[in-house]
Amino acid sequence: MNRKDTKEIPIIAMTANAFQDDIRDCIDAGMNGHIAKPIDIEKMEAVILSVLEKQESLQNGKNNSING
């Protein structure tokens, strides 16, 4: 999409493919994270928190460069 806000929506892949190549392929395709099946709640929480923290950090960096 050509909307600016679409790049701010985090996308986390959930697949049965858990090899490093599969994870890299998801990230290279534009995903922000990867969770392998079967779902491990603790790993899922960690991935979600990591993605949100990265997004917040990037957002704060943009805000600081605008205000600084």
- For residue range 52-65, what is the model confidence (pLDDT) as tens digits? 999 888 888 876 65
* Span 20-46, average pLDDT: 94
Both structure tokens of 9: 């929506």
pLDDT score recorded for residue 64: 64
Both structure tokens of 28: 């290279």
Asked if 33 contacts 55 with a C-beta cutoff of 8 angstroms, the reply is: no
The confidence band for 47, taking pLDDT boundaries of 50, 70 and 90, is: very high
Write the CA distances from 15 to 2, 32, 48, 68, integer angstroms.
Answer: 27, 14, 15, 41
pTM of the model: 0.72
The DSSP-derived string for 11-38 is -EEEES--SHHHHHHHHHTT-SEEEESS
What are the two backbone dihedrals, phi and then psi, of residue 30, each rounded to the nearest 5 degrees?
110, 0
pLDDT, averaged across the chain? 87
Q: Domain segments of the chain: what residues?
A: 4-67
